[in-house]
Each structure stands twice: as structure tokens, then as C-alpha cells.
């Protein structure tokens, strides 16, 4: 049943890439002001789900809607997205990167600047706004991408592994910002495979495994339901099935590609065969 505060709704979503089923029967709702964690191993389907929620992908079946049941791809100006790769242009300054996206969102430079400065203070990025992003560290890039996603005032912020590869201080700063957004009533979808982080930041955790939602609830609720003592144990109990390959690694090959690979792919020993290594090596 739909809550009156429901902001984002994923209904029975299936996503296929040719024969590969990336997501199957995924359903959940996110209410306004919630911070929801998408937790899963590599290849679980988190990024695919985020791309569906940001309108980059369209579901094979099912719907992803925002607000009053409008398909999400028609409401992209209500979303702020930080992809895993951050996606910054190295020959533009941090502010130019932010301004570029804001303009495409139809937001005036003045308004975007005001919002950027406000959040830049929290992220300690004010002095770096006029610098080219070419020399930025991973942390600075992530912070710039966050500022860019916030500059147009989105209703929902979608973050794909925002702390991956960050040092402890930068990761803390990013988490603090998410908390700040939460305090201000913002809605955040936070993809991660760090359980402690999800527990720290999120009101609710959705565990995805092999393209299927395995659990959906608050960290305390998940622990209680599984009868485990920690969230990690609960996660392991819920995801015992062997993790599959990432979709990109599992893409079906065309006939020509198959033949090409058959001819030129390096040979590996068949099972039971012994790999002979030169004794001199």
C-alpha cells in the first residue's frame, strides 16, 4: 500500500540486458525525508537500480515513479545524482562543472552559486571551487560531484557508493553532509557495500542480492528478523547464495565476437590438466 508521504516508488521492476536478468521483481517505496541504503555485493544490481531510479535506464517491466506516479525519467529535474565515477570534466573548474549541470537543470547561476556555497562550507570546498578538477583527489572529486548534484535543489539525492575509495576524513565529511541533508528534510538513496556505513547513515536498508531484494527494513529490524547479533551476520544470513558476475562481465557475446575470442583468447588449462611451468622461471 502506498504511504501518503511516498516520494519514490519502485513497483515490480525487472531489468533485462539481452538474456541477462539484472533485476527481478524489485519493489519498494521511499518516503520523503528518508535516507535509504541500497546494500549488496559487487554485481548485486545496485548501480542498475540507481540508474533506473535516475531515469538513465528504463525498466523492462514494472515502473519507477516519483511523486504522483509520474515516471521518473520525466521528473529528472527533481533528482540529484552522484554516479560512482563522479563524472567531472577535468578541463573545467569545480564551479564550472556545477554550473554546467545547473544550467541544464534550468537553474539560474545565482541560485546555483548560493546553494553551492552553502554546501561547500560543510564540505570545506569553498577555496577549491575556482580550481580545475584535473588535479583533484578522489575525495575532492566526490565532494564536487555532491555539490553539483545539490546545486539545483533536488527532491531526491541518489548517491552511488559515495565514499568508495575515500580516505577516512573525506568519507566522514560526506556522511556528515548526508546527515545534514537528512536534518533539513531531504531524501537520499545511498548505495554502498559498507554495512557499518549504512547502519550509521541510513534510516532503512534494502539488501539486494543477485538482482533480487532480500530484505527491506531498519538495521535493528533486520537484525531482529534474522535472529542474528550484528548487521553483518544478518547480511550473510540473507545472502548465502553465491554472488553472480557483474552484468558487464556477463554480457552475451555476438557470433563474430565468440569466434574471435575462440581464435585469440589466451588458453587456460582444462580442469584436471596440469599447467606446465618452465623450471627456470
Partner 1 sequence: MNKSIHRVKTIAKKEVVEFVRDWRTIVAIIIIPILMFPVLFIVFPILLESEAAELDAKNVMIEIQYNEYPEDFSALFNQSSTTIALVNTTFNQSLSEPMADFDRIRNMELDAILRLNYTDDIWFYSIIHLSTSESSNEAKARIIDVLAQFEANITSQRISDGGLDVDSTLDPLRWDGDVSKSDVATEGEQAGLILSLFIPLVLAIWTFSSAIQPSIDMTAGERERGTLEALLGLPCTRNELLMGKWLGVATITSVGVLLQIVGLLFAIGYLATSDFIGIPDLSLAAVVLIVLSIMLFAIMVVALELALAMRSHSVKEAGSILGPAIILIIFPALFTQVINLDGIESFWFGIPVINILLALRELLLDRVIVEHILIWMVSSVIYATLAAYYAAKQFKREDIVTTLS
CA distances from 265 to 56, 247, 252, 270 (A): 33, 20, 16, 14
What's the min distance (Å) between Cβ of 74 and partner 1? 9
| 58 is an interface residue for partner 1 by CB under 8 A | yes
What's the min distance (Å) between Cβ of 264 and partner 1? 16
DSSP codes, 208-270? EETTEEEEEE-HHHHHHHHT-SSHHHHHHHHT-SPP---TGGGPPPPHHHHHHHHHHSPP-PP
**Dihedral (C-alpha) 65, 67, 70, 71: value to the nearest 10 degrees?**
-30
- Interface pick for partner 1 out of 1, 19, 68, 91 (rule CB under 8 A): 91
Residues 6+ positions from 77 with CB-CB distance below 8 Å: 105, 106, 152
What's the min distance (Å) between Cβ of 219 and partner 1? 28
| Cell 545534514, located at residue | 180
| 35 is an interface residue for partner 1 by CB under 8 A | no
Q: Which is nearer to partner 1, 57 or 136 (CB)?
A: 57
Q: Which of residues 140-169 bind partner 1 (CB under 8 A)?
A: 145, 148, 158
Question: Could you tell me the three cell numbers for 39?
Answer: 546494500
What's the min distance (Å) between Cβ of 96 and partner 1? 8
CA distances from 163 to 139, 160, 176, 181, 208 (A): 8, 9, 12, 16, 19
| 100 is an interface residue for partner 1 by CB under 8 A | yes
| 109 is an interface residue for partner 1 by CB under 8 A | no
Q: Which is nearer to partner 1, 77 or 233 (CB)?
A: 77
* Strand partners of residue 93: 132
Q: Which is nearer to partner 1, 83 or 219 (CB)?
A: 83
What's the min distance (Å) between Cβ of 208 and partner 1? 18
- Interface pick for partner 1 out of 79, 94, 146, 206 (rule CB under 8 A): 79
| Cell 544550467, located at residue | 103
Q: Which of residues 224-253 bind partner 1 (CB under 8 A)?
A: 248, 251
Q: What angle do CA 182, 188, 194 make, to 5 degrees?
A: 100
Part in contact with partner 1 (CB under 8 A); list of ranges 21-29, 32-40, 76-84, 230-238: 76-84
Alpha carbon distance, N-terminus to C-terminus of the chain: 66
Binding interface with partner 1 (CB under 8 A) = 17, 51, 54-58, 76-77, 79, 81-92, 96, 100-101, 103-106, 145, 148, 158, 248, 251
Amino acid at each position: 500500500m502506498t504511504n501518503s508521504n511516498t516520494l519514490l516508488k519502485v513497483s515490480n521492476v525487472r531489468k533485462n540486458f539481452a538474456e541477462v536478468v539484472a533485476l527481478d521483481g524489485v519493489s519498494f517505496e521511499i518516503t520523503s525525508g528518508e535516507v535509504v541504503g541500497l546494500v549488496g555485493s559487487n554485481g548485486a544490481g545496485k548501480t542498475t537500480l540507481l540508474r533506473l531510479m535516475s531515469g538513465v535506464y528504463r525498466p523492462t517491466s514494472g515502473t519507477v515513479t516519483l511523486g504522483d506516479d509520474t515516471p521518473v525519467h520525466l521528473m529528472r529535474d527533481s533528482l540529484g545524482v552522484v554516479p560512482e565515477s563522479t563524472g567531472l570534466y577535468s578541463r573545467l573548474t569545480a564551479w564550472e562543472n556545477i554550473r554546467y549541470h545547473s544550467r541544464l537543470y534550468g537553474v539560474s547561476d545565482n541560485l546555483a552559486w548560493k546553494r553551492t556555497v552553502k554546501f561547500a562550507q560543510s564540505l570545506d570546498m569553498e577555496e577549491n571551487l575556482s580550481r580545475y578538477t584535473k588535479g583533484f583527489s578522489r575525495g575532492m572529486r566526490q565532494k564536487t560531484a555532491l555539490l553539483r548534484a545539490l546545486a539545483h535543489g533536488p527532491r531526491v539525492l541518489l548517491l552511488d557508493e559515495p565514499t568508495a575509495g575515500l580516505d577516512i576524513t573525506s568519507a566522514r565529511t560526506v556522511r556528515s553532509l548526508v546527515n545534514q541533508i537528512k536534518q533539513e528534510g531531504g531524501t537520499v538513496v545511498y548505495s554502498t557495500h559498507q554495512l557499518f556505513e549504512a547502519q550509521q547513515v541510513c534510516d532503512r536498508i534494502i539488501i539486494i542480492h543477485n538482482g533480487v531484494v532480500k530484505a527491506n527494513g531498519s538495521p535493528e529490524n533486520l537484525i531482529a528478523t534474522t535472529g542474528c547479533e550484528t548487521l553483518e551476520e544478518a547480511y550473510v544470513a540473507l545472502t548465502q547464495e553465491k554472488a553472480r558476475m557483474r552484468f558487464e562481465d556477463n554480457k552475451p557475446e555476438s557470433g563474430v565476437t565468440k569466434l574471435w575470442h575462440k581464435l585469440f583468447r589466451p588458453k587456460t588449462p582444462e580442469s584436471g590438466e596440469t599447467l606446465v611451468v618452465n623450471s627456470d622461471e
